[in-house]
A and B are shown apart, each in its own frame.
Chain A
Amino acid sequence: MSRSVILETRGLSKAFGGLVALDKVDLSIDTTKITAVIGPNGAGKTTLFNLITGVYPASSGEIYFQGRLLNNVPAHKRASLGIVRTFQHVHLFGNMTVLENVMSGQHPRSSYGFLEAALRLSKARREEEAISLNAIKYLNLVGLGTYTDHDALSLPLGQQKLLAIARALATEPRLILLDEPGAGLNTLEKRQLSDLIRSIKEMEITVLLVEHDMPLVMGIAEWVIVLDSGQKIAEGTAAQIQKNPKVIAAYLGEEVE
């Protein structure tokens, strides 16, 4: 395995009863590139994300993260290894403020527990200070620094999506998986999102995204993987993918040979 591969899957499959959602997929995700996974509805994109983040176990095949076998690592431990995701349906914590949402993202980077919290020991106070400073830093990064005390769900959808990214970044990941970050955003918000994704790359965090919005994908993705009916049918640069007859067939529903 070369050093520039952050995530690799070998023969990764997932079946739900008789339905094969992902069928022997081999991927290697380059550490330094923004990679997009595209494909028609039901292609297995979200299943792929769920397997990488451990929402459910793979039926067969392996997942390696920085050379380490991930299959038996429980979902909550993957965040401390450096894998984090956002959700298509945002999944913010509606019972918290904007700042608290991001502070909760610092969970795997802090360690004090019930006892230190209950008695407000110095370890708790010290960590709490660092947690809120870091959270403000990530809020500023996504441009929400002035909304700290607002209820998370009082923000418009575009800002909620940015907040979800800030919360994910607060876990200080090596790899961030964005599930349809552009869905529901207007043109201006999409441009801001593209800029944000590029600045995440500059923080030396690998970005892997699932996205339906082709102009967005073609604008930022340096490598594109195409799934269809659970199988990988093509990968390459955006320009190569646009000319690939299999990809065109998958999207337009044509029969190939």
Chain B
Amino acid sequence: MLRRLKSNWSYLAITALFVVLILVPFHWFLGQYTTLMIFIGIYTIVTVGLCLLMGYTGQVSLGQAAFFGTGAYISAILSTTYGFNPWLAMLVAAVATGAFAYIIGYPIFRLKGNYLAMATLGLGLIMWIVFKQLNQFFGEPDGISGIPYLSIGGFVFNSSFRRYFLVWFFCLAVLLISQNIVRSRTGRALRAIHGSESAAESIGINVDQFKVKILVLSAVYASMAGSLFAHHLRYVGAQTFDFMASVKLVVMAVIGGLASVWGAIFGAGATHILSDELLLRFGDWDVIIYGLILVLVMIFMPEGLFVRLKDILERLRLRYRRRGAEP
């Protein structure tokens, strides 16, 4: 009974979220934040993949920006230099990034814990250097510009208003798919690996294979987000995918709650607003703020800010209901 009530509430919450999201880009509502919300949508897609990988499966990635950048750069290069249709470029990018994750997955998951963290960090740094080199070949020293917009038939996503709906369509699709995965046999297998690898193996879960599969999925999410990023800004630069970008992605996942799919919106939103609006005046010192946030959140609310807020609301609601029941 309690469970049914709870799920009704979450349907209500999700419906409310949909309504708000649809209204955001209209100028009489939150129109001035449309561009900001586009970036939040893009980062949410990457963050959800990171939550599946880190929060549910327990595998650290400090190099998620590598996949984000791979998607963005493949889209950028194919649609400029080689004149691919942007959708085709996006598809090729997703497949290639997934294949890349698959190939590095088996060797990288021979490592665990801190060593895995170091290896993924290394991956991020290597790919960042690769992106810088790609600029030399395919664009200007700082990046690649002149990337075309996505379009469907004659309908070109050439305004923020249009791209907002495009990005959030992808974002919500990714969120729903991820939620379905989490609540399935596959999701239990992933959480089992996080809980105890030896126990997971003993009940027939192919631990190595599931780790690689979830890495591939998170890489494909990141690649899609990267493509959307490239076709939104029409420009990609290597500094978007540097080590700090990977750190920011981890902060997003942690603030949203590592083991919470919907928290990713909250985590990506809070962190993006923090980094692009509030922390700019700190210059290079922003690293310290991120470190401080990570430490504080992990100590005081390891399940994430979003999950904690949800718990508090739930408790208030129960108290309110109990008071209502007793005349």
A228 within 8 A of B: no
User: Which residues does chain B contribute within 8 Å of A108, judged by CB atoms?
Assistant: 203-204
B104 within 8 A of A: no
For residue B196, which residue of chain A has the nearest CB?
Answer: A91
Hey, what's the 0/1 contact readout for B187-215 against A, CB within 8 Å counting as 1?
11101101110111111111100000100
B110 within 8 A of A: no
B114 within 8 A of A: no
A85 within 8 A of B: yes
Q: Which of B186, B198, B213 contacts A87 (CB 8 A)?
A: B198
User: Which residues does chain A contribute within 8 Å of B213, judged by CB atoms?
Assistant: 114
* Residue pair A118, B198 in contact (C-beta under 8 Å): no
Minimum CB–CB distance for B58 against chain A, Å: 9
* Residue pair A93, B192 in contact (C-beta under 8 Å): yes
For residue B198, which residue of chain A has the nearest CB?
Answer: A91
* Residue pair A79, B202 in contact (C-beta under 8 Å): yes
Known: A112-B185, A117-B185. A107 touches B195 (CB 8 A): no
B307 within 8 A of A: no
Minimum CB–CB distance for A75 against chain B, Å: 5
Minimum CB–CB distance for B205 against chain A, Å: 5
In whole angstroms, how far apart are the Cα atoms of A85 and B199 in the complex?
A: 9
Q: Which of B177, B180, B201, B203 contacts A104 (CB 8 A)?
A: B203
* Residue pair A92, B181 in contact (C-beta under 8 Å): no
Tell me the interface secondary structure of chain B in the complex. helix
* Residue pair B180, A95 in contact (C-beta under 8 Å): no
* Residue pair A117, B180 in contact (C-beta under 8 Å): yes
Minimum CB–CB distance for B5 against chain A, Å: 13
* Residue pair A93, B195 in contact (C-beta under 8 Å): yes
In whole angstroms, how far apart are the Cα atoms of A147 and B94 in the complex?
A: 43
A218 within 8 A of B: no
Q: Which of B177, B195, B198 contacts A94 (CB 8 A)?
A: B195
* Residue pair B181, A79 in contact (C-beta under 8 Å): no
* Residue pair A128, B185 in contact (C-beta under 8 Å): yes
In whole angstroms, how far apart are the Cα atoms of A23 and B36 in the complex?
A: 67
* Residue pair A76, B206 in contact (C-beta under 8 Å): yes
* Residue pair A107, B203 in contact (C-beta under 8 Å): yes
Known: A92-B195, A93-B196, A94-B195. A85 touches B188 (CB 8 A): no
User: Which residues does chain B contribute within 8 Å of A161, judged by CB atoms?
Assistant: none
* Residue pair A92, B199 in contact (C-beta under 8 Å): yes
* Residue pair A96, B198 in contact (C-beta under 8 Å): no
Minimum CB–CB distance for A165 against chain B, Å: 12
B184 within 8 A of A: yes
For residue B197, which residue of chain A has the nearest CB?
Answer: A91
B259 within 8 A of A: yes
User: Which residues does chain B contribute within 8 Å of A170, judged by CB atoms?
Assistant: 203
Q: Which of A77, A92, A100, A118 contacts B204 (CB 8 A)?
A: A77
Minimum CB–CB distance for B174 against chain A, Å: 10
User: Which residues does chain B contribute within 8 Å of A149, judged by CB atoms?
Assistant: 3
* Residue pair A119, B191 in contact (C-beta under 8 Å): no
User: Which residues does chain B contribute within 8 Å of A74, judged by CB atoms?
Assistant: 206
* Residue pair A107, B180 in contact (C-beta under 8 Å): no
Could you show 25 A-B contacts with beta carbons less than 8 Å apart?
A55-B198, A55-B201, A74-B206, A76-B205, A76-B207, A79-B203, A92-B196, A92-B199, A93-B200, A95-B259, A96-B188, A100-B191, A104-B189, A104-B205, A107-B189, A107-B192, A114-B181, A114-B217, A117-B180, A117-B184, A118-B177, A118-B180, A120-B180, A168-B202, A171-B204
Chain A residues with a Cβ under 8 A of chain B: 53, 55, 74-80, 84-85, 87, 91-96, 100, 103-108, 110, 112-114, 116-120, 124, 127-128, 131, 149, 167-168, 170-171
Assuming A87-B202, A104-B188, A119-B180, what are 20 further A-B pairs, CB within 8 angstroms? A75-B201, A76-B204, A76-B205, A91-B198, A93-B191, A93-B192, A93-B196, A95-B194, A100-B191, A104-B191, A107-B192, A108-B204, A112-B184, A114-B181, A117-B180, A117-B181, A117-B184, A118-B177, A128-B184, A131-B185
For the complex of A and B, list the 6 residue pairs with the smallest distance between their C-beta atoms, beginning with the closest.
A79-B204, A93-B195, A108-B204, A117-B184, A91-B199, A91-B196
